[in-house]
């Protein structure tokens, strides 16, 4: 099916030129034709979604409009509480039913009669950037060559796959160090990391309460802006694209280009050249404080200690059963003293505040979203290879989390393995509306994902 924006679909639903039942039937068809190949969902709710779609059509035919997401298929990461859907948080056992209580973000989707298609796979407790999970298996990147499955990116690993698959048009995820932007970048989608505290994390199994942020994945920036406006209590109305003429783009020079895949570097530079031709003022900037915060991140950051604390209080019996890659970091947190933990918090807070001075010389920062191509799943079965790839995958995106800023990714092309690469845009805290406006201008120049990338190979034979 040719790309139609969320705004266009919503308009057609209200004119009764399309129906929610038709949308969900298409979503179910795409799920059934490809799920065995790409493995997006921990819990599929197609039958319930079909029944809800029938009710939505009745409401729409009677002229009742409950919100912009009414009738839109939405997948939800398996950290969020959703009524009558189990929460595993990537672990080997479901949490008790109290965790199924919807928090504010899911409540907003439900109140608008957005249709939740199911719960998508996640790295255990969202603690990893590659998307692997030894309990339930890793979602497969739809851009993989047949017989050579590659990582879909994490931790919201099933979220990006659900959009590529067509079983959802909006995906809810979380982002502690890149967990919506990485899977979006590697599967050819767009994603927004909100500023910590802008959206409530209530009703979401935590990894690191100091850094966890709910986030969105959509097929295009245009859709991201639509979904953000639908869910954000502060934003009202349509977000207009910002003219690129005179837009000051600061290209981060330190760290983010280290060990980068040459094709990803070339895609990034090509996108920057396009933006410059459209009138953007592109300069190279050094981002202060990056080395200090990344060193803390490599040592476990805040997440290891905070997840250990959560598990000690809520589910200590699960620690021994954790994914070995997660368990090693959780157990290592015992070596982090309270003094060291507080020092890390202070360094991150001070570094993020001090580094804001970079925005005196630019409106938005840009970097490659992920420096490396999605690895083959067979390559990261080895512990040492996993750790290396995981850190390189997370490095560029983690900077925005560690500084407490907002960030977004959109596709920049295909790399040498035929896997999508991403262009990351970073803005100061609480500047999501302006960030989306700038990203809309960038998308108009470099091209929307469906037009830029084409169709994923593993889905090319699907309906």
Which residues are identified as catalytic?
Answer: 77, 155, 179
The angle that helices 6-15 and 221-231 make with each other, rounded to 10 degrees, is 60
Do 126 and 176 form a contact (C-beta atoms < 8 A)? Answer: yes
Give the dihedral of Cα atoms 253, 259, 265, 269; nearest 10 deg.
Answer: 10
The Cα 279–Cα 202 span in angstroms is: 42
d(CA 428, CA 136): 37
Instruction: Give the integer Cα–Cα distance in Å for 162 and 129.
Output: 17
Residues 376, 262 contacting (CB under 8 angstroms): no
DSSP three-state, residue 172: strand
Q: Report residue 260 as tokens.
A: 């980068």
Residue 29 burial (C-beta neighbours within 10 Å; 0-12, 13-18, 19+) = middle
Q: Which residues fall within 8 angstroms of residue 108, CB to CB, at 6 or more apart?
A: 67, 230, 231
Q: How many CA atoms lie within 13 A of 97 on its CB side?
A: 2
Query: Residue 8 and residue 4: Cα distance in Å, rounded?
Result: 6
Q: Is 417 helix (H, G, I), strand (E, B) or coil?
A: coil
**Side by side, which strands form the sheet with 281-285?**
41-44, 115-120, 73-77, 170-175, 213-218, 190-193, 406-414, 420-427, 364-368, 248-252, 281-285
Most distant pair of Cα atoms in the chain: their distance: 62
Q: Is the omega angle on the peptide bond into residue 155 within 30 degrees of 0, that is, cis? A: yes
The three-class DSSP label of residue 320 is helix
Q: Two tokens at 262?
A: 């040459």
The answer to whether 230 and 170 have CB atoms below 8 angstroms apart is no
């Amino acid at each position: 099916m040719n790309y139609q924006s969320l705004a266009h679909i919503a308009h057609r639903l209200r004119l009764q030129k399309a129906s929610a039942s038709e949308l969900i039937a298409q979503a179910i068809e795409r799920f059934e034709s490809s799920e065995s190949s790409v493995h997006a969902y921990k819990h599929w709710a197609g039958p319930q979604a079909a029944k809800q779609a029938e009710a939505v059509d009745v409401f729409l035919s009677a002229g009742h409009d409950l919100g912009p997401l009414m009738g839109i298929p939405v997948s939800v990461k398996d950290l969020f509480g959703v009524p009558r859907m189990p929460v595993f948080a990537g672990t080997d056992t479901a949490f008790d039913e109290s965790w199924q209580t919807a928090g504010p973000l899911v409540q907003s989707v439900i109140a608008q009669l957005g249709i939740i298609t199911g719960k998508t796979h996640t790295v255990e407790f969202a603690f990893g950037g590659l998307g692997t999970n030894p309990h339930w298996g890793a979602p497969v990147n739809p851009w993989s060559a047949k017989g050579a499955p590659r990582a879909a990116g994490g931790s919201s690993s099933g979220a990006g796959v659900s959009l590529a698959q067509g079983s959802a048009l909006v995906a809810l995820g979380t982002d502690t160090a890149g967990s919506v932007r990485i899977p979006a970048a590697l599967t050819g989608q767009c994603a927004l990391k909100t500023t910590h505290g802008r959206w409530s994390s209530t009703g979401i199994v935590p990894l690191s309460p100091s850094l966890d942020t709910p986030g969105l994945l959509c097929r295009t920036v245009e859709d991201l802006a639509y979904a953000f406006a639908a869910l954000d209590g502060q934003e009202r109305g349509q977000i207009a694209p910002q003219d690129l003429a005179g837009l000051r783009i600061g290209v981060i020079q330190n760290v983010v280009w280290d060990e980068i895949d040459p094709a990803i570097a070339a895609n990034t530079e090509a996108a920057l050249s396009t933006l410059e031709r459209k009138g953007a003022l592109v300069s190279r900037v050094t981002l202060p404080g990056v080395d200090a915060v990344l060193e803390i991140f490599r040592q476990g950051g805040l997440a290891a200690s905070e997840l250990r604390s959560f598990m000690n209080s809520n589910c200590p019996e699960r620690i021994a059963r954790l994914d070995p890659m997660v368990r090693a970091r959780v157990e290592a947190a015992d070596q982090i003293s309270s003094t060291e933990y507080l020092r890390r918090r202070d360094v991150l807070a001070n570094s993020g505040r001090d580094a804001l001075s970079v925005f005196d010389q630019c409106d938005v920062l840009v970097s490659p979203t992920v420096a490396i191509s999605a690895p083959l799943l067979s390559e990261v079965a080895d512990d040492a290879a996993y750790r290396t790839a995981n850190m390189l995958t997370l490095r560029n995106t983690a900077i925005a989390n560690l500084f407490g800023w907002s960030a977004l990714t959109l596709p920049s092309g295909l790399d040498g393995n035929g896997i999508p690469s991403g262009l990351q845009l970073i803005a100061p805290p609480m500047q999501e509306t302006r960030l989306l406006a700038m990203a809309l201008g960038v998308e108009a120049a470099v091209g929307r994902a469906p037009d830029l990338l084409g169709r994923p190979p593993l889905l090319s034979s699907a309906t």
